[in-house]
Structure formats: C-alpha cells, structure tokens
Amino acid sequence: MPLVAHNNLPSFNRLRGEGVKVLAPDAAVHQDIRELHIGLLNMMPDAALAATERQFFRLIGESNPIAQFYVHPFTLDVLERSEKAQAHIDQYYETFEQIKQQGLDALIITGANVAGPDLSSQVFWQPLIEVADWAHENVTSTLCSCLATHAVLEFRYHQKRVFQGEKIWGVYPHNLVDKSHPLVVDVNTRFDVPHSRWNAVTHAQFKQANLKVLAESDDGCVHLATSPDGLRTVFFQGHPEYDTISLLKEYKREVMLYVEDLRKDYPPFPDNYFGVFEKALLNEYRLRVDEAKQNNLDIPVFPEALIDYRLDNTWHDTAGEVVGNWMGLIYQVTHRDRKKPFMEGVDPDNPLGL
C-alpha cells in the first residue's frame, strides 16, 4: 500500500506531512511485498509541475492494493522550462531512456500547456507519440489525463477533439454507464469530477473508436473510458486528481491576467464550485479591482486565505477508488519482470477476461 521514497523528491515529504504513508527504502526492503513501478510523464507547465506530482502520487499512495509503489517522474526534453524548474527536473526526474531500460508496470501521462488549437503542431507531439507507443507495447496499462486523452484519441484512434466555444470549467456530476467493469467496482454510481478545458472528445467519437465508456456527465460528456480490451489504455477527460483548491488557483490566475490587461473580460466563476459566501466575497473583490484599475490605485490582495478553507471536495474519494481498482488490476495481471507487460497465460487482447 505505501509509496516508497526512493529518491529525495520534495513531494515525498509534503505527502508525509499530509498523512500519506511513505516508506524509506531501507524499510521497504524488509517487507515481503511486491513492488509496482509507475511512470509519471509530467508535461505540466512549471507552476503546476510539483503540484501535479503530489496529486498523482497521492492517488497512487492512497490506493488499496497490497504493494509498494515506486513512482518514476520524467518529462519531455522539448518542453521549455525555467531555470528553477529545470533544476528540479535535473535533480529528481529520470530520463525516458532510463525509464525504457528499467521498464514500468504502469504509466500515467498528464496534460500540458497548448499554444493554438492544433495538437499535432505542438512541440511535444512527436515525443509524446514515441512515449505512448512504447508504453502500448511494453507497459501493462497507461492512464491518460485530459489533454493526453485528446492526443491519444487523435493519433491512435483518429478522433480529433472539438472546440467547445465556451470553457468547460468547474465541478460536474457524472454517472456510471457501465457498472460491471472492474475499474469501477464499488465506485459511487454518481460522483463529481473537476474539468478545465476548451475542447472535448464527444461520446460519439469514443464509440466510433470502439472504446468502452464507463462514466459520463448528465449532458453526455465522457469522463472515464478504456481501450477495447478494458485495460491497456485508461482515459480521464476530467481532472479527478485535482486538489480542493486547484480550481481556486486557476480562477485566481485568470483574475490576475485581467488585472494585468492580458485578458479583456473578467473571468466567470467555475461551475458548481464556489458557494454563496465565496461568490459574494469574490464579487466584492471584483468591484475593488475595477475601482483600483480605473483610479490607478494598488490592486487589492486576492482573498484566497478567506476562501480556500471553505471549499468542498466532492470527488477525491471516487478518484481514489478508481485509481485503487486500476492498481489492483495491474497487480493481478502484470509480469514480475517489468519488461514483460503481462503474466504468462494472460491474453493481451483481453487481459481482464471481459
């Protein structure tokens, strides 16, 4: 069940402080428990790099299977980084070549910043395809988050994401549409998921690609799906890994863009996230910001400290259950030799026997 702090990555200490079980390597070697090695391809921008580590590490570390989890973060060299972020990567991250040499039991691919609507023109496009194709052949299961889902749907299943006109931003209720799949065993049949995106792959596109849709929102927006075999690729279109304050941080960032005249309109509230008190406080702040801008006064401090402790998290327990089920399935079918995806006798085209 515990994470193993196999290097000095600061996220391990942060998670210890939150109560997540993290073992030191010398303690781990004395436990007769099987290891699982999980890769984290972290493509998030510098400001979200460490937070994304913690979010996915936390979900893995809190999952239920009896295993020791070694999480191996890496990124793509083509992504431009600040000096501070690059130093963090150089000190704590592994290279893709090292990942390939040691092998993985599972892989998580995060989202990334995108310039323009066309994914295939992004600097990370070809390197991402290389990682995803390697994992498809050599790793038991790959979990794709948000933009990574859109990318894999495009280059592997020829389903190009659709611009939505308005940003899908907030916390939305979802329903299980396939309650029998092992990934959603004991998961709430109705649960919330945060989303933050301008684009979508539609239900019809998932079906056209012959993918298994497991959960979608009331308006048919797919959140959770899998490849036809049920395990080789798992797709999240939302962000169940988000912290309670993640959308608050995003809202603050958008407000600051408005303050700096980098955004023309004042940002709307994320859907279904702030309560009546928080909205009133933020509306008052907006009036103070506009007054300050009009009169060339100092911009007031964003009231984050008055809001963050009041926010509700209505998605983390279900996210933990899904990731826990995913870890359990990988544990059951993965070969002990990490360079072989499946145990002998497991059908790669139907590893779960569905």
Q: Quick count: other Cβ atoms within 10 Å of Cβ 201?
A: 24
At 5, is the pLDDT very low, low, confident or very high (cuts 50, 70, 90)? confident
Cβ proximity of 188 and 182 under 8 Å: no
**Predicted pLDDT of residue 317:** 95
**In DSSP terms, which residues pair with 22 in a beta bridge?**
3
Which residue shows structure tokens 């359990």? 328
At 1, is the pLDDT very low, low, confident or very high (cuts 50, 70, 90)? low
Residue type, 186: D
**pTM listed for this prediction:** 0.90
Please state, rounded to an integer, the average pLDDT across all residues of the chain: 92
Task: Express each pLDDT in 327-349 by its tens digit.
Answer: 988 988 888 888 888 888 888 88
Task: Please give the domain boundaries of the chain with CATH numbers for all domains.
Answer: 3-242+315-333 (3.40.50.880), 246-310 (no CATH)
The question of whether 166 is a catalytic residue gets the answer no
CA angle 274-275-278, nearest 5°? 75
Task: Express each pLDDT in 158-189 by its tens digit.
Answer: 999 999 999 999 999 999 999 989 999 889 99
Task: Express each pLDDT in 201-248 by its tens digit.
Answer: 999 999 999 999 999 998 889 999 999 999 999 999 999 999 999 999
Cβ proximity of 198 and 246 under 8 Å: no
The question of whether 80 is a catalytic residue gets the answer no
Q: Quick count: other Cβ atoms within 10 Å of Cβ 299?
A: 14
The question of whether 144 is a catalytic residue gets the answer no
At what angle are helices 147-155 and 125-138 packed, to 10 degrees? 80
Of the residues 37, 174, 239, 316, only one is catalytic, namely 239
**Predicted pLDDT of residue 331:** 86
**In DSSP terms, which residues pair with 31 in a beta bridge?**
none
Judged by average pLDDT, the poorest of 7-21, 32-46, 154-168, 225-239 is 7-21
121/117 Cα distance (integer angstroms): 9
Of the residues 241, 254, 278, 321, only one is catalytic, namely 241
Q: And the tokens for 129?
A: 């395809």
Dihedral sign (CA 338, 61, 14, 192):
positive
Q: Is 242 buried (19+), middle (13-18) or exposed (0-12) by CB count in 10 A?
A: buried
Of the residues 53, 62, 146, 154, only one is catalytic, namely 146
Instruction: Return the percentage of the chain with pLDDT > 70, whole number.
Output: 96
